Amino acid sequence: MDGRRYAAELKAEVASELAALLRQGGRPGLATVLIGDDYPARAYEQRLRRLAADVSCRYVCERLPADAEEADAIATVGKLDADPRISGIVVLRPLPTGIAEVALYRALDPLKDIEAVHPVNAGLLALGRPRYIPSTPASCFYMLDRYLASTGRELPEFYAASTIVVVGRSANVGKPAILLGLARNATVISCDEHTFRAGRLYDHTATADVLIVAAGVPGLIRGEHVKSGVIAIDVGINAVPRSGGGTRLVGDLDHDSVATKAEALSPVPGGVGPVTDVWLLRNTVAAAELSLSTEAAQPSREGYGLPGGDVRRVSA
């Protein structure tokens, strides 16, 4: 599954939506909060900066040192909350140990919380009434839906007959991916480090028709851990040393061995990542649309690919 191709197609759609919104007087703007000097977080910030420039979307990054106090981080979020030129805010992870994620998430204006980490937005997603869907799990299912459609499958029938195994239970990837699978009427199995410690992880991955891995462990899943014909989506982004010096990015799947068994799989890099970047910008545009609406406080299912909504945004 070629994430770069899917991302290019999605980017064209977002650019068109953004231009239309600007003509209507909308003010889309994306802001990131980067605390410390984590390599993956810096790389992500740079990609978002370039993407926003490509489609002429306002972008700002608020940077704080690794030793910043929690109060300073909350104040920074509050400043962005109050800025009418910013419609979407993303707190980049990981955070330094002295700053609690939940404190920053609660400080976000829910209408600007485009990764749905504020308790209100997370709750709406769990209830099947999402205001926004976090960009990474949304991108997993966008790619999966597009791939399935390209093979001529009927999506409702495929999902109802499939087992989706999600490895990783993070609030921003694993848990929302579980909810999106359930919303498609699939059988969903959730695994995490406790499953691994109990010696049961590979029992479950071997049953997967669709495997979504977001564990942050390089090469965690190998070919012998999956069944023939699996469709595998690798969310892992792990920086590992190169033999000649420097670092390279690898996923949570051992790509070569899984490829011998899989019907399809997403590479790292070039898989979920590029789509995630564009989806985040799409949520930024959606947030700016909400700010124009007199019903901004009423979350809608439309446009986010849950049953009863317009699946155009997450499927072919």
- pLDDT mean for each 10 residues of the chain (316 residues): 96 96 94 92 93 96 96 98 97 93 96 96 94 96 97 97 97 94 97 97 98 96 98 91 83 96 96 96 96 56 42 34
Angstrom distances, CA of residue 181 to CA of 31, 129, 165, 178, 312: 29, 15, 9, 5, 17
Please give the DSSP secondary-structure letter assigned to residue 93.
S
CA distance 125 to 291: 19
pLDDT of residue 256: 95
pLDDT of residue 312: 33
Please, are residues 177 and 140 in contact by the beta-carbon 8 Å criterion? yes
Overall size of the chain counted in residues:
316
pLDDT of residue 311: 34
Which class for 206: exposed (0-12), middle (13-18), buried (19 or more C-beta within 10 A)?
Answer: middle
Same fold, 7-115 and 135-273: yes
Cross-strand partners of 91 = 33
pLDDT of residue 302: 45
Which amino acid is present at 268? V
pLDDT of residue 39: 80
Copy the structure tokens of residue 287: 């947030």
Which amino acid is present at 192? D
Q: Is the pTM of the predicted complex or chain greater than 0.85? A: yes
Instruction: Identify the CATH class of 135-273.
Output: alpha beta
pLDDT of residue 300: 47
Which class for 97: exposed (0-12), middle (13-18), buried (19 or more C-beta within 10 A)?
Answer: exposed
Copy the structure tokens of residue 300: 């809608």
pLDDT of residue 104: 95
Please, are residues 33 and 76 in contact by the beta-carbon 8 Å criterion? yes
CATH number of 7-115: 3.40.50.10860
What is the domain partition of the chain in residue ranges?
7-115, 135-273
CA distance 25 to 34: 29
pLDDT of residue 10: 96
